[in-house]
Structure 1
Amino acid sequence: MIDDLLHSSGIEHLVFDWNGTLIDDIDLAVCAVNRCGEYFDVAPITAAQYRATFDFPIADFYAALGFDFARAPFPVIVQHYLEHFDAHVAECDLHDGVVEWLAAARRAGIGVSILSASHCDVLVQTLEAKGLLGDFEHVVGLNHNHATSKAAEAAILQKTLGTPPARTLFVGDTLHDYDVACAVGWQPVLVTTGHQDASRLRRSGAPVFDGLGEMLARFAPEPAGAVARGGVRS
């Protein structure tokens, strides 16, 4: 059982990114970016172009797409984006494996939290709409819409957890998630189902999986006669 493997790996807490990691919001994000592009006269992009370009700080991402901040200040663009994204994010499906991971952690007695760059109010509302809010020990988002790093929030969450940072597994979908994990000493794991494509994620050197379902399979017990190995495997 995966909960047995979580115990044997030494993991004491799971922290998940939200957008792109647990919720499949890529199509919505691309649509919202293109609505901004149409409004501010910037060429539309495909999902593949989005995933090859998306990055933090997000202002640099918009600049790379051709948005002119002298003509349209970045906060105005973000507000236009969120007017569409926040109104529809609760309609997005969860990624495969979310329910299974939450159940496994619960059986193993391991706490699960969320660390997201989404505004905390929208994050809580979306989790409530999905019936998931009670499954997370801590739900941490930003208290503003400036589209900045979540590194400071990660540091606060680590202090709140009070466990050895190396015993926390942080699952995300971007290189920023990798950087945040490394900054606080968490074990980073990345999934390719989110906002950056696999080729970019693999440059980090972190374990990369083609989704939460593959992560479940890789944490499954070894075949009979195999030697069990602890820790995160790539």
Structure 2
Amino acid sequence: MYKYLIWDFNGTILDDLELCLDLLNVMLEKQNKPKLDVPAYKHVFGFPIKDYYIQAGLTFDSWSFDQMSQFFIERYQPASFECQIHKGVIETLQASIQMGLKNIILSASQTDNLIEQTKILNIFQYFDYIIGTDNIKGQGKIERGIQLMKETGIDPNSCLYVGDTIHDAEVAKALGVKVLLYTGGHQSEARLRTVNERIIYEISDIINVIKG
């Protein structure tokens, strides 16, 4: 049934929640705002990133969104090399390839950063396409996904998309593909269930879905 497995990266493949929360709290501390714990973070995180920052308590009076984005990525990118890949990712990638599927990363992260991360984490070789954006603001994921589908002629009915946020459900809907939402990432299960998509608790559950 499926020929392509489309993966979100941050929070789905890479377990970077604690890193992202730590950097958010550094920014909040710089503005003398209360820090967030994991449940609070999972309650407010989302896209657009600028809206999420506002929900978290940040303001742009003396520190612009562009400056925050630069501050974040300069610290996030090198630190992300120390993050772990979620349990079951490698095994799922290998199993899907053995079943004849092609694997694609579709992320709101900048493409060059994604390529660097996947190479350092030693997973670059598993992916047929690594599709990111041209900016560090988390903008343009839907547009890049649509461009991929048009340029490759991939049939949406042959794709299964895996992500960890409501935005991933929005991306999947825009592409016309089926989606699974993983509870181990950046948003709470309760929020994910508001979009009525299929939920998985382990990355390895993807294989059972592929098998039908």
Q: TM-score range by the shorter chain?
A: over 0.9
Task: Kindly indicate whether the alpha-carbon contact (under 8 Å) linking 1:40 and 1:72 is maintained by their aligned counterparts in 2.
Answer: no
Alignment of 1:146-161 (within 5 A): 146-161=137-152
Match of 2:84 in 1: 93
Structure 1: runs of 5 or more not aligned: 1-9, 222-229
Alignment of 1:211-222 (within 5 A): 211-216=202-207, 218-219=208-209
Once residues 182 and 219 of structure 1 are traced to their aligned partners in structure 2, the CA distance between those partners, rounded to angstroms, is 18
The answer on 1:116 being equivalent to 2:107 is yes
Once residues 101 and 16 of structure 1 are traced to their aligned partners in structure 2, the CA distance between those partners, rounded to angstroms, is 11
SS in 2 for 1:188: strand
* 1:123-151: CA deviation from partner (whole Å, max 9, x where unpaired): 11110011111110000111111222410
TM-score with structure 1 setting the length: 0.86
Structure 2: runs of 5 or more not aligned: none
Once residues 76 and 93 of structure 1 are traced to their aligned partners in structure 2, the CA distance between those partners, rounded to angstroms, is 27
Count how many residue pairs are aligned between Structure 1 and Structure 2.
212
Alignment of 1:30-41 (within 5 A): 30-41=21-32
Task: Kindly indicate whether the alpha-carbon contact (under 8 Å) linking 1:178 and 1:204 is maintained by their aligned counterparts in 2.
Answer: yes
Q: What displacement does 1:40 show? A: 2.6
Match of 1:187 in 2: 178
Aligned CA-pair RMSD = 1.4
Q: What displacement does 1:81 show? A: 1.5
Match of 1:201 in 2: 192
Q: What displacement does 1:185 show? A: 0.4
**Match of 1:38, as an amino acid?**
E
Once residues 75 and 147 of structure 1 are traced to their aligned partners in structure 2, the CA distance between those partners, rounded to angstroms, is 11
Q: What displacement does 1:213 show? A: 2.6
Task: Kindly indicate whether the alpha-carbon contact (under 8 Å) linking 2:92 and 2:206 is maintained by their aligned counterparts in 1.
Answer: no
The one of 133, 136, 140 equivalent to 1:145 is: 136
Once residues 34 and 73 of structure 2 are traced to their aligned partners in structure 1, the CA distance between those partners, rounded to angstroms, is 19
Once residues 175 and 141 of structure 1 are traced to their aligned partners in structure 2, the CA distance between those partners, rounded to angstroms, is 18
Match of 1:15 in 2: 6
Higher-Rg member (1/2): 1
**Match of 1:150, as an amino acid?**
K
Alignment of 1:58-73 (within 5 A): 58-73=49-64
Match of 2:127 in 1: 136
The answer on 1:29 being equivalent to 2:29 is no
Q: What displacement does 1:47 show? A: 1.3
* 1:137-179: CA deviation from partner (whole Å, max 9, x where unpaired): 0001111112224100010111233121121001000000000
Match of 2:73 in 1: 82
Q: Which moved more, 1:25-34 or 1:100-109?
A: 100-109
Assess, with a 3 A threshold, how the Cα gap between structure 1 residues 220 and 165 changes in structure 2: closer, same or farther. closer
Once residues 52 and 172 of structure 1 are traced to their aligned partners in structure 2, the CA distance between those partners, rounded to angstroms, is 16
